[in-house]
Structure 1
Amino acid sequence: MSATVLILPGWQGSGPGHWQMHWVRRYGYAVVEQNDWLRPRRGDWLARLDEVVVDTPGPLVLAAHSLGCLQVAAWAAFSRHVGRVRGALLVAPGDVEAPELKEQLPGWSPIVRQPLPFKSILVGSQNDPYCTAARAQGLAHDWAAQWVDLGEAGHINAETSLGDWPEGHALLQTLLKE
């Protein structure tokens, strides 16, 4: 049975030019919608992800960006439904422990750092304004995720002008084939 891909945008959601929304339009992937994209509450986001996982039949693969990566790690630490997930593509995690983000996103710190119970790939950038490459590599290590360095690609979002980001989709395909 093929897996369903769930798209997990980060803080403020992903606009129409973001690779996640390109994938939704092109491949029909489902977005895990949140009640409040501007003031994300961790408990609400985790509960919403758990609801969607329970309500979606068959195996799942998660494609998360920024705060969505931290959502996956925190959700995996408590959910009884992690066995439904085959893998996760984690792109440009935000460092909510950094002072400038900790203030803007209360309740998301500390970052859950236990190994993920499913195969994962973390894609980071050398010049991400929201997470240094060293911090992203540290998260990849803590989460037992394969590290992929995209070079100087900023926050790997719409501003990076990746379009539908075929290289990222190729990484997702490796998880879908697991």
Structure 2
Amino acid sequence: MSVAQPRVLLLPGWQNSGPGHWQSRWEALHGDHRVEQHDWLRPLRGDWSARLEEELLASPAPVLLAAHSLGCILVAAWAAHSRNTHKVLGALLVAPGDVERDDLRQQIPGWSPIARQRLPFAATLVGSTNDPYCEAERAQAMARAWGAHFINLGPSGHINAESGLGDWAQGRQWLQALTTTTTTTTVKKGA
């Protein structure tokens, strides 16, 4: 009897992920499924949560979530109210946006406060020491609140296309590791 491979749902952040972003590259390389939102420029937390719920219900279990920026905040908000979290094996949460910061709260209203409950599935949060949208200490605090393992990627910006990650094989390994065991790691960019 073979075990079904988990389906990977990609959860981009505000304004979606462009062609050079690791999420877009994973979609092309691995056939991952991007959760398309109705409005990428004016995100509404309830709408985005409803779309994630719809996609999860339409996907055969098990599922892995690969979230970036506002997508990380979405995972926490969705998990706080969904009755279908059991379908998720784990979540790779990359460069969460700190929507409680004054500037981001004004640009992306309705997403603050950030849900802080422990996630009911395995999670790894990858943060950067120079992310312009979230200080490293805030990312670590989110990881603790969510019960996620924290990986410090060093000075890697917002861990997006501009970070020069290409296909980001290391990130893919961390995502796949969520199906078994995850460990806390610190790595330097390029490692």
RMSD: 0.7
- In the other structure, the counterpart of 2:55 is 52
Instruction: Tell me the number of residue pairs that the alignment of Structure 1 and Structure 2 aligns.
Output: 178
Query: What percent identity do the matched residue pairs reach?
Result: 60
Q: Separation in 1 of the partners of 2:40 and 2:167?
A: 22
Q: Which amino acid aligns with 1:16?
A: P
- In the other structure, the counterpart of 1:12 is 15
Instruction: Give 5+ residue unaligned stretches, structure 1.
Output: none
| TM-score normalised according to structure 2 size | 0.92
- In the other structure, the counterpart of 1:135 is 138
Tell whether the 8 Å contact from 1:2 to 1:176 is kept in structure 2 after alignment. Answer: no
Q: CA deviation at 1:175?
A: 1.4
SS at match of 2:92: strand
Tell whether the 8 Å contact from 1:6 to 1:32 is kept in structure 2 after alignment. Answer: yes
1:150-169 correspondence to structure 2 within 5 Å: 150-169=153-172
From the two aligned structures, give the one with the greater helix fraction.
1
Q: Which amino acid aligns with 2:116?
A: R
Q: Give structure 1 regions of 4+ aligned residues with deviation exceeding 3 angstroms.
A: none
Tell whether the 8 Å contact from 1:59 to 1:86 is kept in structure 2 after alignment. Answer: yes
Instruction: Give 5+ residue unaligned stretches, structure 2.
Output: 182-191
Q: CA deviation at 1:177?
A: 4.1
Q: Separation in 2 of the partners of 1:97 and 1:9?
A: 19
Tell whether the 8 Å contact from 1:129 to 1:155 is kept in structure 2 after alignment. Answer: yes
- In the other structure, the counterpart of 2:189 is none
Out of 3, 6, 17, the position equivalent to 1:3 is 6
SS at match of 2:51: helix
Bigger RCO of structures 1 and 2 (CA < 8 A, at least 6 apart): 1
SS at match of 1:176: coil
SS at match of 2:80: helix
Q: Separation in 2 of the partners of 1:53 and 1:60?
A: 8
Tell whether the 8 Å contact from 1:90 to 1:122 is kept in structure 2 after alignment. Answer: yes
Out of 22, 27, 41, the position equivalent to 1:24 is 27
